[in-house]
Amino acid sequence: MDSKNPRMTKQQVCRAIRDDIIRGVFAPGQRLTEDTLAESYGVSRVPVREALRTLEAEGFAYSRPYAGTFVAELTEDEAADLLEIRALLEPLCASRAARRRTPEQLGRLKELTALGQESVRSGRLDDLTRLNSRFHEVLAEASGSSLLAGLITQLGWKIAWVYAVELPRRATDSWDEHERICAALEARDAELAGRLVTEHIAHATTAYRLRHIGSAPSGADS
């Protein structure tokens, strides 16, 4: 919540607020006021008002008559639905990407993986949500299907919200899995790529469901 740019577009304001909701800067149930947000992001109230409408439509916020707009809470049922949908779509993306990816897309996936691994080693865990979302967006783009890419991008924001609670535990394993996915794409092995993404999602889903069992310090891996 440190952006102070009066030239921010309404899309950038929306993304900034969404990112802060995902990262927990704004807690579930917290009121989001136009004045406070406008001051925080260094913009006028108009783009903030439009951003809040968009975030409400996306399910990141809700409004109550005469009370204002508040941060939504992701329920267990909603999280389960999102994880199940992701488990169906992303392996298909990976299989197609192994056959259709361009050298540039493969290079970008490798670059994102290297950045993620470096962020883990350096303890810059705040960078991981953004890098992880971008990795899966590029993977979807590499499938060659604009429809799949659009669906994954929309899902990605909510998936980031689901997984934000378990990233510190799984950070190292997750980016090692990304590296193996890249190797399968480089080899153009569609079956292996699909299987690795299926396993990747299963591991992350398990970590999410077990997040209340025990505790791990920030930056720990499991």
Q: Where are the alpha helices (DSSP H) in 30-166?
A: 34-41, 45-58, 76-100, 103-122, 128-141, 146-163
Sheet holding 61-64, edge to edge: 31-32, 68-71, 61-64
Instruction: Enter the pTM of the model.
Output: 0.77
Residue 210: the pLDDT is: 67
CA angle 136/128/63 to nearest 5° reads 80
Chain segment 134-191, per-residue pLDDT in tens: 999 999 999 999 999 988 888 888 888 877 655 556 778 899 999 999 999 999 999 9
Residue 167: the pLDDT is: 52
Chain segment 57-113, per-residue pLDDT in tens: 999 999 999 899 999 998 888 888 888 999 999 999 999 999 999 999 999 999 999
* 167 close to 129: Cβ distance less than 8 angstroms: yes
Residue 107 structure tokens: 């290079």
